[in-house]
Structure 1
Amino acid sequence: MTPHGNADLETRTGHRFLVRTVTDRDEAALAEFFTHVTPEDLRFRFLTGLAVVGPDRLAAMVRVDHYRSETFLAFADDGVTVIAAAMLACDAALEVGEVAISIRSDYKQRGISWALLAHVARYAEARGVQTLQSIESYANHAAIDLEREMGFTARAYPNDSSLVLVERKLPLSAAL
């Protein structure tokens, strides 16, 4: 991984892909990516009944400060098709970082979420983040199970029984 968060990754199933940080030129590719994310996964990612990821949300994902917030894009072999996107948003002290990941529907079940979450965790750790968190829908069993497999713990989200706060102290084990 470079200091900028770019890396060639390989999943446990042998699927290889490139991850790099977002640039201002990626807005159209990110918009296209979200048209290939299932409605259920959009709901899980944005915790709302969002049907289309609009220009305001796309702009927020692309125009990050690259200090407290970062968006990572994973690309297919063609180097153009976005297959996954991950966001990391940290508090002002860079002590706590929240992560959210979306996978293109035709690239699910290949281990990309696992590899991308481990990548974001390593990036956050290198930035000095001490705790990595994710706010999940209680119904998003796949994400909660994956995070638990990586050593995250889950607990009820304060004041909202439909959500779960999943978190892990950093560093993650070297095996990730």
Structure 2
Amino acid sequence: MPPVQRGRLAPYKAALEAISSRTRTPLSSLVLSFAILHEVTAIAPLISVFFMARSFGVGENAVNFIKKEVSEGQPDNDAWLREKGKKWMDEGEKWAAKVGHRYGIFGFPKTPKGSEIAVDSAETYGTSTHLAGDVANAVLAYGVTKSQALLPARIGLSLYLAPTFSRRMLDPLRQLILSRWSRKS
């Protein structure tokens, strides 16, 4: 009979240990695999949405549609969704400016490494109300990736692939490192 575990996290730890024993994968390797895959599933949609928006030329129209103000006096059934979308688009503008200045992409000039870039408002980086080109595509990609709609799929995919990723990628890497380290000792 397994020892009784106490505490708030005990059920989760027991479930993780069961997955670890069923997949014959160390728990630490499973956790690291999940973390890596979770980040990869965030970067992959970001890049793919950017290039799809760029290919089809929809970034500018989508961002401007999401950011447009609702006229007063007209009922807006999607007020919450539009407000959330505007928030993600504003965050996306700041992110695009920060990344654009850092790497010299999206039409922004590359800024030297030590200098700080103020990205508090759209006026700071010259895109007052109208976003165009790659900036709009980057903002749309950020907004789609940031949305909570993708989160359950990302978590599910990361959980599903973690044991295989651990066995195929992390375990061979761990064995290689251990064998090289034991030779030096």
| TM-score of the superposed pair, with normalisation by structure 2 | 0.22
Write 1 or 2 for the structure with the bigger share of strand: 1
Q: Which gives a bigger RCO, structure 1 or 2 (Cα 8 Å, sep 6+)? A: 2
TM-score, scaled relative to structure 1 = 0.23
Q: Rg larger in 1 or in 2?
A: 2
Identify, as 1 or 2, the structure richer in helix: 2
